[in-house]
A and B are shown apart, each in its own frame.
Chain A
Amino acid sequence: MVYKNIICPVCGGSCDDVQVNLDKENGTIDVQNACKMGSAKFKEVVSSHRLLKPTIRENGKVKDVSWDEALEMAADILVNAKKPFFFLGSETACEAQEVGLHIAEYLGGLADSNATICHGPTVMGIQESGMVGATAGQAKNRADMIVYWGVNALESMPRHMSRYGVFPRGYWTKRGRFDRTMMTVDPRVTPTAAASDLHLQLNPNTDYELLSALFTILNGKEPHPSVEEITGIPISVMKQTVEMMKESNFVAIYVGLGVSSSYGKHRNIEIALNFVKEMNNYTKCNIGALRGHCNVAGFNQLASYLYGYPFGLDFTKGYPRYNPGETTCVDLLREKDVDAAFVMCADLMDHIPADSAQYLADIPMICLDIAPCPSTTAADVVLPGVIDAMECDGTFYRLDNVPVYFEPFTDSPFTETKSNEDTLKQLFAKVKAKKEA
């Protein structure tokens, strides 16, 4: 059967035009319109490696158990921990993340998400200076200059350029690509850089210096000549860049981890945001993060709405605290500051530095996921996941923080659970029963 306008649950692009032809009897699926990454995930619905049975590790051996046994053991681990840590990953809906946050609060634990190790510093930069934002649709219809700064859009959000950024015909950019100038700032010649009209190949870790120099030029001053050697970019090119921006009608800047994850971190973002504010004295200019993981934006929105902070939530004192560097995932694990972990819909073991990963493998860990990966290998309890937007409904936040409600085209493969939200609710009931017993 053919299903149209399905939302892709893979990256922050949340493409809503995917067409799926699912043949349940023969176990085949045909996917149209999605990119390579999206298509691969849709194939998980019928894949042979899908995790379909809960497992636990007992005396070093992994064995299949019933859902009830797995949930019991998971609840035991969480209730017996002094400081349980919840990593509520981005490849699931806000509805599941919400239950996870409530369990963390109930147990006085800590909660975090990919939002931190992805664009955490971007969010901190926004807290420092505010943000001139726009929806993807506004940028698509108005922007005639696109800047990808520290992001390889073609490989991290493959359809961004064709759906929102560069190629689509917008209301004010009727000829699509021909009406737009595209610039990339990246130390590497990425496919995105190769497709650009202008590529500033800056030296690594010099984003702050380059942004400061652009800011200085924008203010009509001459930057210090040393900036050429530091950044690897001639001042004449910097001046040309500022002029190109000023002469455009609408500049849309997309930042990636190249800005927020290199030396300078949130300060890079802060100065980028201030530069954008200043640029609005000359032309319309906005900035947004290209969010690679599906629902990372959702976690930030949800956590801010429920508890006042966008990530790194610490409930150990009975009320929410937030102190990046202390209450955030990589730091908590590196400093051995938690004693059990619940990892949902994110292969955390894969994403974090060795010191943190080693400790995560040491402590009791529950992992909810759909396919075998380093996190499920190291987990003591594995709960099979339901695939959002394919097997259950829910809400994601797109890269521009627009909520997107999605509906499934097939059912959960499990009789025991309808969705990850459902699994977490069952776990929460067991946790409460044990705690209150």
Chain B
Amino acid sequence: MEALLNTGSTIDEGRLAKGGSKYTDDYTKECAVCWMCAEDFTSLGCPEKVAVISRDRKYSVALSTKVTEAMRSGQVFIPRSIWANVVVEPDTFSTGSPRYKGSPVFVEPTDDVILSAEELVTKMYMGGK
């Protein structure tokens, strides 16, 4: 499914990030989550986990799903975090600020493991170092 990705704060994301708890399970449970509406969730086959993939298909991140009335069809939301930023469009349109809101992404059901923030940085960014 193609969707527009929105990222932003949630109160618990803020509480955990500011409280230095980025390497806790609570933080992963709060932020490694893809919000979508019931219609999109059903059309994806009601998956427990989805892979959100960047527009150029270079990057993909596994997340659990959350169904909510806050979203409209064709739009997904990930709390602002390292997971969300894996697939945020890096082009800044000559402003310096990437497209945290409204990046085009693909969403597909997946069985991949959801990485913790620490695993994500070591495996994906540090090449497993």
Chain A positions near chain B (C-beta within 8 angstroms) = 10, 35-41, 43-44, 47, 49-50, 60, 112, 116-118, 120-121, 124, 150, 152, 154-156, 158, 187-190, 201, 204-205, 257-258, 260-263, 265-266, 292, 311-312, 324-326, 328-331, 334, 347, 349-358, 360-361, 370-374, 377-378
Rounded to whole Å, the gap between the CB of A87 and the closest CB of chain B is 12
Given contacts A112-B96, A156-B14, A354-B124, A190 and B70 within 8 Å (CB-CB): yes
Query: Does A36 contact B11, Cβ atoms closer than 8 Å?
Result: yes
In contact, A37 and B18 (Cβ under 8 angstroms): yes
Q: Kindly identify, within residues 77 to 129 of chain B, every residue whose CB is under 8 Å from any CB belonging to chain A.
A: 77, 81-82, 85-90, 92-102, 117-118, 120-122, 124-127, 129
**Given A150-B101, A204-B101: A347 and B22 interface contact (C-beta under 8 Å):** yes
Residues of A within 8 A of B124 (CB): 354, 358
Query: Complex: how many Å from CA A351 to CA B101?
Result: 13
Q: How far is the CA of A371 from the CA of B21 in the complex (A)?
A: 8
Which of A35, A47, A156, A347 contacts B8, CB < 8 Å?
Answer: A156
Most B C-beta atoms less than 10 A away, residue of A118, A124, A361: A361
| 10 interchain pairs, CB-CB under 8 A | A10-B18, A117-B98, A155-B14, A204-B75, A350-B17, A354-B87, A361-B127, A370-B20, A372-B20, A373-B20
Add 12 more A-B contacts to A330-B90, A353-B88, A373-B20 (CB < 8 A).
A36-B12, A188-B71, A204-B75, A204-B101, A205-B102, A325-B95, A347-B17, A352-B98, A353-B89, A354-B54, A354-B59, A373-B23
The docked-state distance in angstroms from the alpha carbon of A189 to that of B71 is 7
Please tell me the size bucket of the interface on B: 35 or more
Closest chain-A Cβ to B53's Cβ sits at a distance in Å of: 12
Q: How far is the CA of A358 from the CA of B86 in the complex (A)?
A: 10
Q: Is B20 in contact with A257, judged by CB distance below 8 angstroms?
A: no
Q: Which of A41, A188, A324 is the most central at the interface, judged by chain B CB atoms within 10 Å of its CB?
A: A188
Bits for B35-66, please: 1 = Cβ < 8 Å to A, else 0.
00000000000000000001000110000000
Tell me how far the C-beta of A109 lies from the nearest C-beta in chain B, rounded to whole angstroms: 16
Q: How far is the CA of A361 from the CA of B118 in the complex (A)?
A: 13
Given contacts A325-B96, A374-B82, contact A262 B102 (CB under 8 A): yes
Given the known interface contacts A189-B70, A355-B90, A361-B126, the answer about A378 and B99 at a Cβ–Cβ threshold of 8 Å is no
Q: How far is the CB of B13 from chain A (nearest CB, A)?
A: 8
A328 to B92, CA, bound (A): 9
**In whole angstroms, what is the CA distance A152 to B35 when docked?**
16
Shortest CB–CB separation between residue A353 and chain B, in angstroms?
4
Q: How far is the CA of A358 from the CA of B124 in the complex (A)?
A: 8
Q: Is B16 an interface residue (CB 8 A)?
A: yes
Determine whether B72 belongs to the interface, using a CB cutoff of 8 Å to chain A: yes
Residues of A within 8 A of B85 (CB): 350-354, 357
Residues of B within 8 A of A204 (CB): 4, 6, 75, 101-102
Supposing A155-B9, A187-B75, A325-B93 touch, asked if A349 and B121 sit within 8 A by C-beta, the answer is yes
